[in-house]
Each structure stands twice: as C-alpha cells, then as structure tokens.
C-alpha cells in the first residue's frame, strides 16, 4: 500500500469490550446493503470437501512464503491478566472517550463536576443523548450551589465496563459515575474506592432476552412459561442456541452471567461460586455457541438466520431496533438497569452539593426520557438481590476460566505489514500483539501470517505453551514494513493453515483475526466471493480490526458478517486495550 502522509492517525485494533469498546453495546441504525442478507444468500455454500479443495488451490496460486521464526524471546514474569493495565493513558482519555458535554464558559469561581456516563444515555444524538440533553440544559440554567457558586457539569461518554476499570484501578477518577446498573457500583466499592449514592435511578430500563417467536413458542410448549429459568434449561439441554455479551464490558452481559449463577444457587450468594453451581454453569456454557463482542453481532446472527435463536439486549435498545419489532419477543431478566448516579471518592462539600442539585434536576426531566424509549418497563422488579462486589468480581474471573469449557480455539493473526504501517503504526501494533498474549489461554493454539505485496507464514499453528509463546513474541518483534496490501491473499493463506490444523485436530474451533490499516491494492482482487463461501461452509469466523484513515470499513464489515464475527476499530493508544478485550473474550 502507498505511504500515507506524515501524521496520519493510527486507528485501531480490537472493541469489549471493554472498552468497545468497547466497543459500545448498541444496535446500529445505519446499515450497508449487505447487512440484510445472511451468508448463504450473499456468498453461497459449497460441499465441505469442495471448499477445502478450492481453498488449497487458491493458496497454491498465492504461493505464500514459509519463513517461520525459529528464534525465541524471553517470557516476562507470569502475572494475572488485567485489562486495566491496557487502558489508554489517562492524559489521552478524552481522545478515546469524549466529553459530550463540555461547557466552554468555565471560570475558576465555578464548581465543575465530571460524570462518567454509560453510552445509551450520554451520546451526541437521540435516542442515546437523554442525559446529554439534561446536563446541557442544567448548565444553561446556571444552577448554583447553596453558597451561590455556579455549577458546570461535564459528561464523559464511556461504557460502564471501561468506566469501572478506570475508577477501580485509580487511573482516572471522575466526580461521579452513572453506569447502566448497580453491579458496577458494587464492584467499585469492592475495589476500595468510596462511593456515595445521589439517586438509585436517573431513568428506568431493563435487560432482557430477545428471541424469535418460534423459539418463544417452543419454550412455552416445553416449560409452560417463558422465564429466565426456562431459557437456562433449554440452553443446557441443547434445545436452543443462546448468545450473550462480554460480562467484562457489557452491563447486560454481566447481569446475565450473575442471573445464571444466582438461578443455579437459588438466590443464595454463598453458593453462587460453589462446585455444584460451577458444574451447572459449565453445562450451560457448553450450549452457548459464542459470547459476542457486541450486541450487533448477536442481533445479526438472529435476524440473518445465523446460529442464534435468542440473545440479550437492553429494553431501550430493543424498542428502537426496527428490525426486531416484528417476529421477536422481549423477556426481561435479572436486576433493573435504572442508571444510578453515585459520587466517586472523597468529594468536597461544594461538589457534593453540585451533584445533589444535578440529581434533583435530572429527576425533574425524567418524563423527557420517555421520548428516548426509557421508562417503558416500569412494572418489572429485579429478580435477585445484588451480591457483594467481591462476589461479582469473582464471578467475572470464573466466567473467564469457564467460558470456553470444552471448546479449544485455533486462531491465526493475519497482520498487515505494508509500507503505510511504518513508524508509530507498526510500533503500536507490536505492543498490542505482545500485550494481548497475556489473555490467551495456553490450551488454545496460535499462528501468525504477515502480508504486504507477498504473504509470509511466520508462525505455524501450535498450542500456546511457553515455547510457542516465546516464538510468537519473537515473530512480533521481527515485524518490518514495506510494500503494498494483499489482504485477500493473507486471509486465504491463513484460512488454509487453519483448515489443515483443524482437520488434524477436530476438537479445535477455527478463528481468524485480520489486522489492517488500508485498502486492498495488491494480490487477489476477486477473492471475496470465494473467501465468503469457504468461510461460510467451513464455519470460520473472521474478526476484522481496522486502523487508519483510509480503511475500507464496509468491506471489513462484510467479511466479518460471514460467521457472526465482529468488525471494529480504535485509535492508536487504545489499540492495546482493544485487542486485550477481544482476546480476553475469545481466547
């Protein structure tokens, strides 16, 4: 690929997340034409042997260069993987998690408070900007403290999981935190950060399971009533395919995880992590095809005829998803998502006064939230008592251990090393791949392919034991840039490696991670249809990670749509957190 002009923004790798993130767990209102088609309609299918033969022929035509790295890198001291360590530097937080309310008329005499606010209510535009609207109006009204000082509110658009990570790690402490639900508040308290309640509910919302009408009818026939327990039992018995989101990043995903453990423990917190409950959770998890990085992944799987019969979503998001308003049911579960507002840390008296004034004003604007599809499930009551923060944190760790029970993964990283990746881009990519290694379970198998004008096989797929990890780190360290961008060739060569490995090791599930910063401008230009048909037939999800100004995001989304994978992007400093969040989820 041609060189970019100096100063081009290095965009990104991977969104849970958590911080997709994370990656934000919402339904997109703007979709490309292909998004209404499933993979069978768009790419077609082949017989498995035909797909393997076609793939082998294409790989021979490409003739990838085998240049396996034989050197090793010394492994760092083993430590417990921690997503908080991968967060972008606090000085750059606004670049990645912007202030959607940031008054420009602040003076030294004002009382300024900053609120970490979950994304379904702190966006720029309706229907995600209820709190943004309230905070702007609050500032425009020049509300004052009891001492007569003017209050100025700043609102930061940040998903609940990432907000929790910043606060609990002490990397960045706002004045207030308004996550989607109280689970994050309990975990914040357990991390040693003091919090003070200003309101338990800014606006009303619930989490729920969205399912096809046919799935609903099946559960009603088999269980008499469609409840969370019925869903859990149906998944465990293999009757339905259920998906949920990353509990490290998603409020709904975390709520679902705790709901399952609470149901198995019959509401007894002391038994939620017992051997009996853990064993039952393992059975349940074996029936879950995958835990998704985003709600969009799951929604598309259901609406395009993919693997899933049901998935989780917030009620407000469900109501504004037009595609779900016919042919689907919404079943609320777990605790309510009532968007509490808590002060964080030891606040001054004037900041405490300011937060109290903000909470009071927000209450007066609660009816406005109806226009934003909040407050629509007012009669639903939480189904379990929230466990301690310590139990919640332990439940996340349990999920990380057990999420892939019985499901080993073989993955290949397909990395763009074209000329435009020189300088900071390749440096940040190396950091992200190196730091992301800590989230890969040793029982999974990893390979590495590089592409520019040519394709180089850098690391054969092998279980990620100490030797393979040391070779992986050496391969990442040796990356150099130059040449054009033959992305399709890189994908084909990597798929061929995966098919060879999983044919010999059928207990491994194949996954591709494609990392690119630009347009495809070399190699196979007509390969997309074949890639789609082969990946669809052989069930190979292809996660695409875009970084750069000129990336063809529509193409990458199309590739990732084949098998319920995700396409995502992030800015340069967020790259480590993004890849860490995705690997924490998948590997």
Q: How many domains does the chain have?
A: 2
Task: From 304, 336, 368, give the residue that closes a domain.
Answer: 336
**Co-location of 411 and 327 in the same domain:** no
Q: Are strands 445-451 and 455-463 parallel, antiparallel or unpaired?
A: antiparallel
Residue 435 located in a structural domain: yes
**Co-location of 430 and 332 in the same domain:** no
Residue 83 located in a structural domain: no
CATH number of the domain residue 220 falls in? 3.40.190.10
**Co-location of 332 and 410 in the same domain:** no
Rg of the chain's alpha carbons, rounded to an integer? 24
Q: Are strands 328-336 and 445-451 parallel, antiparallel or unpaired?
A: unpaired
CA–CA gap between residue 559 and residue 29 (Å, rounded): 20
pLDDT of 406 reads: 64
Q: Which two tokens stand for residue 483?
A: 């040449």
**Co-location of 310 and 440 in the same domain:** no
Alpha carbon distances (Å) from 401 to 511, 550, 579: 19, 38, 19
Q: What are phi and psi of 288, to 5 degrees?
A: -95, 115
Residue 117 located in a structural domain: no
Residue 28 located in a structural domain: no
CA–CA gap between residue 426 and residue 431 (Å, rounded): 9
Task: From 317, 336, 355, give the residue that closes a domain.
Answer: 336
Task: From 297, 317, 336, give the residue that closes a domain.
Answer: 336
**How many Cα atoms occupy the beta-carbon half-sphere of 217 within 13 Å?**
5
Residue 194 located in a structural domain: no
Strand partners, 416: 451
pLDDT of 261 reads: 97
CA–CA gap between residue 93 and residue 246 (Å, rounded): 22
pLDDT of 24 reads: 31
Residue 56 located in a structural domain: yes
Total residues belonging to the chain: 587
Residue 248 located in a structural domain: yes
Residue 530 located in a structural domain: yes
pLDDT of 586 reads: 58
CATH number of the domain residue 562 falls in? 3.40.50.410
CA–CA gap between residue 545 and residue 514 (Å, rounded): 6
**Co-location of 557 and 477 in the same domain:** yes
pTM of the model: 0.77
Q: What are phi and psi of 488, to 5 degrees?
A: -60, -40
CA–CA gap between residue 418 and residue 60 (Å, rounded): 22
Q: Are strands 151-157 and 455-463 parallel, antiparallel or unpaired?
A: unpaired
**Co-location of 427 and 564 in the same domain:** yes
pLDDT of 568 reads: 66
pLDDT of 41 reads: 52
pLDDT of 259 reads: 97
**Co-location of 442 and 574 in the same domain:** yes
Q: What is the mean pLDDT of each run of 10 residues along the chain (587 residues)?
A: 37 32 31 42 74 90 90 68 72 87 94 96 89 97 95 96 94 96 97 96 95 94 94 93 87 95 95 95 87 66 72 91 90 96 96 97 93 91 95 92 78 88 77 79 90 93 91 90 88 93 91 80 72 86 72 71 65 56 59
**Co-location of 555 and 456 in the same domain:** yes
**Co-location of 456 and 319 in the same domain:** no
**Co-location of 242 and 324 in the same domain:** yes
Q: What residues make up the domain containing 283?
A: 206-336
- Summarize the chain as % helix, strand, coil (round to 5): 45, 20, 40
**Co-location of 489 and 571 in the same domain:** yes
Burial class for 48, CB neighbours closer than 10 Å (0-12, 13-18, 19+): middle
**Co-location of 475 and 329 in the same domain:** no
pLDDT of 34 reads: 33
């Amino acid at each position: 690929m041609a060189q970019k002009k100096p100063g081009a923004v290095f965009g990104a790798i991977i969104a849970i997340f958590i911080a997709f993130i994370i990656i934000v767990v919402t339904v997109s209102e703007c979709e490309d034409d292909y998004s209404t088609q499933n993979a069978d309609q768009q790419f077609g299918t082949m017989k498995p042997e035909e797909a393997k033969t076609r793939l082998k022929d294409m790989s021979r035509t490409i003739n990838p260069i085998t240049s396996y790295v034989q050197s090793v890198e010394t492994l760092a001291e083993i430590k417990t993987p921690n997503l908080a360590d991968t967060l972008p530097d606090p000085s750059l937080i606004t670049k990645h998690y912007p202030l959607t309310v940031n008054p420009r008329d602040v003076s030294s005499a004002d009382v300024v408070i900053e609120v970490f606010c979950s994304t379904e209510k702190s966006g720029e535009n309706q229907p995600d900007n209820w709190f943004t609207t309230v905070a702007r109006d609050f500032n425009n009204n020049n509300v004052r403290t009891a001492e007569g000082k003017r209050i100025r509110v700043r609102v930061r658009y940040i998903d609940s999981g990432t907000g929790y990570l910043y606060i609990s790690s002490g990397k960045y402490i706002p004045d207030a935190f308004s996550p989607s639900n109280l689970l994050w508040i309990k975990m914040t308290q357990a991390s040693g950060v003091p919090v003070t309640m200003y309101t338990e509910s800014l606006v009303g919302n619930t989490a729920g399971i969205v399912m096809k009408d046919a799935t609903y009818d099946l559960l009603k026939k088999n269980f008499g009533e469609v409840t969370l327990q019925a869903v859990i039992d149906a998944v465990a018995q293999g009757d339905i395919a259920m998906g949920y989101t990353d509990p490290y990043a998603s409020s709904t995903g975390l709520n679902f995880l705790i709901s399952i453990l609470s149901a198995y423990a019959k509401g007894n917190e002391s038994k939620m992590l017992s051997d009996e409950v853990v064993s039952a959770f393992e059975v349940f998890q074996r029936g879950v095809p995958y835990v998704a990085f985003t709600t969009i992944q799951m929604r598309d799987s259901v609406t395009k005829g993919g693997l899933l019969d049901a998935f989780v979503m917030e009620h407000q998001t469900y109501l504004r998803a037009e595609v779900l308003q016919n042919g689907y049911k919404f079943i609320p579960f777990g605790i309510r998502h009532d968007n509490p507002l808590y002060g964080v840390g030891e606040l001054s008296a004037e900041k405490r006064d300011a937060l109290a004034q903000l909470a009071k004003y927000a209450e007066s604007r609660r009816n406005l939230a109806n226009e934003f599809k909040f407050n629509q499930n007012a009669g639903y009551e939480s189904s379990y008592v929230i466990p301690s923060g310590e139990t919640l944190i332990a439940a996340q760790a349990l999920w990380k251990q057990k999420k892939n029970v019985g499901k080993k993964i073989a993955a290949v990283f397909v990395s763009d090393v074209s000329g435009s990746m020189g300088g900071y881009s390749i440096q940040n990519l190396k950091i992200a791949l190196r730091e992301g290694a800590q989230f890969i379970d040793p029982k999974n198998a990893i390979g590495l392919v590089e592409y520019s004008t040519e394709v180089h096989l850098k690391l054969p797929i092998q279980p990620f034991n100490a030797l393979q990890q040391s070779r992986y780190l050496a391969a990442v360290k040796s990356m150099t840039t130059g040449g054009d961008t033959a992305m399709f060739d890189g994908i084909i060569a990597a798929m061929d490696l995966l098919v060879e490995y999983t044919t010999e090791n059928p207990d491994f599930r194949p996954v591709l991670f494609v990392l690119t910063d630009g347009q495809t401008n070399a190699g196979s230009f007509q390969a997309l249809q074949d890639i789609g048909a082969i990946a669809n037939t052989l069930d190979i999800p292809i996660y695409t990670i875009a970084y750069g100004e000129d990336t063809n995001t529509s193409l990458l989304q199309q590739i990732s749509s084949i098998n319920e994978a995700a396409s995502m992007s992030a800015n340069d400093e967020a790259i480590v957190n993004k890849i860490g969040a995705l690997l924490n989820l998948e590997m």
